[in-house]
Structure 1
Amino acid sequence: MGEIFLKAFEALWQVLVAGIILGAGLPAVFALGIKALGTGRTLAADGATYTTPPTGAGRAGSTVLFAVCVAAILFGIFLVVASGFGLKIFGS
């Protein structure tokens, strides 16, 4: 009986960690990419538009951060499709 609770707790812990990483971490990485695009830019008087283009570093940083987001999404799709074909990627 104790072994069942131990396995249930282990599964719960894995779901919690994945939820925190994907539920909060990935949107935070995307938000940092958006913020990187605005680094070094000046706003117009109306506060809604920029008067200068993004800096090279901001553009490069946002590209890397957006690529991380896209890679995580594609990896998730791969896991779903692979499990549909019966492939075991993680665990037994």
Structure 2
Amino acid sequence: MGEIFLKAFEALWQVLVAGIVLGAGLPAVFALGIRVLGNGRTLAADGSTYSSPPTGAGRAGSTVLFAVCVAAVLFGIFLIVAGGFGIKVFG
């Protein structure tokens, strides 16, 4: 009986960590990419557009952060598709 609770608790931890990482972490990485892209730019007088282009470092940093987001989404799609066909990815 205690072994069942131990396995349930272990599964709960895995779901909690995945939810925190993917539910809050991935959107935070995307938001950081947006922030890095706008770093060093100046706003126009109306406040809704930029009057200067992004810096090279801003473009490079945001590209890396956006690539991490795209890779995570593609990996998630891969896991869903692979699991749907009975392919064992882990373990």
Please tell me the TM-score bracket, short chain as reference. Answer: over 0.9
Quote the Cα distance in structure 2 between the aligned partners of 1:26 and 1:90: 22
TM-score calculated relative to the size of structure 2: 0.98
Aligned sequence identity (%): 87
TM-score calculated relative to the size of structure 1: 0.97
Quote the Cα distance in structure 1 between the aligned partners of 2:90 and 2:9: 18
Quote the Cα distance in structure 2 between the aligned partners of 1:5 and 1:75: 30
Query: RMSD between aligned alpha carbons?
Result: 0.6
Query: Structure 1 unaligned runs (5+)?
Result: none
Quote the Cα distance in structure 2 between the aligned partners of 1:3 and 1:78: 32
Letter in 2 for 1:77: I
1:12 and 2:30 matched: no
1:48-59 alignment runs, 5 A limit: 48-59=48-59
**Other structure's SS at 1:13 match:** helix
Query: Structure 2 unaligned runs (5+)?
Result: none
- Superposed structure 1 runs of 4+ greater than 2 Å apart: none
